[in-house]
């Protein structure tokens, strides 16, 4: 889980990695025989039993620096990635982070250009909601706008099916996961979803500027202990979570 790629001298939320560090981290994956791909490609490969050696790379918030700094590094290694953008804030800034620093977000035109790189560069444009709100605190109308509304807007902008949603702040509960599924997404990313872990609450590991190769190795090893594995089918996740709400019924009706 990455966010911004650029100068990380002023970075109170620890969301920035320098292009040089990103390059070394992707090189580390490459040396271990691993390849970075978008989450959509990772899930599609897993579904046909070909997920081994693939690592989903995600860039949250849709910072403008993705195009300038992250894309050239990804291209150098031949890696794909998913960029989670906020269609309600295109061309704006990360106003939801009170401490700043202000970082410009991709414009609509830039998002459209990146979406066109899906086939050549393995890039996936997916939704981070509309405006970066905690969805577990949103009422039904806002939750609908942030999930279904953002998906429709992004689909219109890119001319492609929007498969993925990333929960702002990684916060998700059963109601939010159900809304993501009902909105037509095929998967959703969280951070540490615990018992909700599944296709609609994919766990992710934060990777930052401090992550040198030995720290990456440690995170890679500890991940197996700290997070439960993602079941291959989403119905397994619902059964595991033991929730009796509509999620399983929806999954079964497909
Ligand atoms: Zn975010």
Determine the distance separating the centroid of ligand 1 and the alpha carbon of 15, expressed in angstroms: 9
Determine the distance separating the centroid of ligand 1 and the alpha carbon of 128, expressed in angstroms: 7
| Phi/psi at 131 (5° precision) | -130, 5
Q: Give the start-to-end residue ranges of the domains of the chain.
A: 4-252
Nearest CA-CA partner of 233 in 192, 189, 187, 178: 187
DSSP state letters, 46-63: HHTT--TTEEE-EEETTB
pLDDT tens for 62-90 read: 999 999 999 999 999 999 999 999 999 99
Q: Check pLDDT > 90 for residue 171.
A: yes
Nearest CA-CA partner of 127 in 95, 151, 92, 157: 151
Whether the pTM exceeds 0.85: the reply is: yes
Q: Check pLDDT > 90 for residue 249.
A: no
Determine the distance separating the centroid of ligand 1 and the alpha carbon of 168, expressed in angstroms: 5
Determine the distance separating the centroid of ligand 1 and the alpha carbon of 133, expressed in angstroms: 9
Rg of the Cα atoms in the chain: 17
Determine the distance separating the centroid of ligand 1 and the alpha carbon of 228, expressed in angstroms: 23
Determine the distance separating the centroid of ligand 1 and the alpha carbon of 31, expressed in angstroms: 30
Q: Which two tokens stand for residue 216?
A: 């990456």
**DSSP-derived 3-state class of residue 213:** helix
Nearest CA-CA partner of 159 in 120, 121, 125, 122: 125
Mean pLDDT, the chain, rounded, equals 90
Determine the distance separating the centroid of ligand 1 and the alpha carbon of 254, expressed in angstroms: 30
Q: Angle CA(166)–CA(167)–CA(171) in degrees, nearest 5?
A: 150
Return the residue matching tokens 């159900």.
178
What is the number of other CB atoms lying within 10 angstroms of the CB of residue 70?
23
pLDDT tens for 14-67 read: 899 999 999 999 999 999 999 999 999 999 999 999 999 999 999 999 999 999
DSSP state letters, 71-102: HHHHHHHT--EEEEE-TTSTTSB-TT-TT---
Determine the distance separating the centroid of ligand 1 and the alpha carbon of 104, expressed in angstroms: 13
Mean pLDDT of 179-185: 98
Determine the distance separating the centroid of ligand 1 and the alpha carbon of 175, expressed in angstroms: 20
- 213 with 191: CB under 8 angstroms? no
Determine the distance separating the centroid of ligand 1 and the alpha carbon of 97, expressed in angstroms: 9
Mean pLDDT of 114-138: 97
Classified by CATH at the fold level, domain 4-252 comes out as TIM Barrel (3.20.20)
Quote the pLDDT of residue 233: 63
Quote the pLDDT of residue 234: 53
Q: Check pLDDT > 60 for residue 201.
A: yes
Q: Check pLDDT > 80 for residue 244.
A: no
Nearest CA-CA partner of 203 in 192, 214, 187: 192
Determine the distance separating the centroid of ligand 1 and the alpha carbon of 215, expressed in angstroms: 23
Rounded-to-integer distance, Cα 86 and Cα 250, Å: 27
Determine the distance separating the centroid of ligand 1 and the alpha carbon of 48, expressed in angstroms: 30
Return the residue matching tokens 């099916």.
161
Rounded-to-integer distance, Cα 197 and Cα 205, Å: 13
Determine the distance separating the centroid of ligand 1 and the alpha carbon of 60, expressed in angstroms: 5
């Amino acid at each position: 889980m990455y966010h911004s790629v650029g100068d990380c001298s002023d970075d109170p939320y620890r969301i920035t990695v320098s292009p040089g560090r990103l390059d070394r981290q992707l090189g580390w994956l490459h040396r271990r025989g691993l390849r970075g791909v978008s989450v959509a490609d990772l899930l599609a490969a897993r579904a046909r039993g070909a997920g081994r050696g693939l690592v989903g790379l995600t860039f949250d918030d849709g910072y403008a620096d993705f195009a300038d700094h992250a894309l050239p590094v990804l291209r150098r290694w031949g890696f794909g990635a998913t960029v989670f953008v906020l269609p309600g804030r295109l061309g704006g800034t990360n106003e939801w982070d009170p401490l700043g620093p202000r970082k410009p977000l991709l414009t609509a035109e830039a998002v459209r250009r990146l979406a066109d790189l899906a086939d050549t560069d393995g890039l996936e444009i997916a939704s981070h909601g509309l405006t970066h709100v905690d969805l577990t605190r949103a009422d039904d109308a806002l939750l609908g706008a942030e999930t279904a509304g953002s998906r429709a807007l992004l689909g219109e902008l890119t001319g492609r099916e929007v498969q993925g949603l990333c929960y702002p702040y990684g916060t998700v509960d059963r109601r939010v996961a159900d809304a993501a599924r009902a909105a037509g997404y095929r998967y959703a990313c969280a951070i540490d979803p615990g018992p909700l872990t599944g296709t609609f609450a994919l766990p992710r590991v934060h990777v930052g500027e401090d992550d040198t190769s030995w720290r990456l190795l440690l995170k890679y090893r500890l991940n197996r202990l700290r997070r439960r594995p993602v079941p291959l089918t989403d119905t397994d996740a619902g059964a595991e979570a033991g929730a009796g709400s509509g999620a399983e019924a929806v999954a079964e009706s497909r």
